[in-house]
Amino acid sequence: GLPVLAIVNPGNDLLRLIPEYKIGIADDGDNLEVLGQKVLLLAQQIREDTQITDRCKALANSLFESKTIAQQILSTFKPNEN
């Protein structure tokens, strides 16, 4: 249920997913001043957005649910249907 502050490589899917699901901030830069601004922005989001932790929990539960993981594993064993 914790909001995310992610520093990732350029092109990482998290740059799109984190803002899309409104669960925190992702950045692909290495500028410490900009990172400091992002930390302050995330702190402000946490104060103002009372639903952010609920969204974080819901997303984590849906992504890491046993059934979802089992389906992902089984899908790797299915033959390609091209």
Chain segment 25-54, per-residue pLDDT in tens = 999 999 999 999 999 999 999 999 999 999
Per-residue pLDDT at 69: 76
Per-residue pLDDT at 80: 64
Per-residue pLDDT at 81: 60
Rg (CA), the chain: 16
d(CA 30, CA 8): 9
Q: Does the CA dihedral 77-60-27-21 come out positive or negative?
A: positive
64 has a pLDDT exceeding 80? no
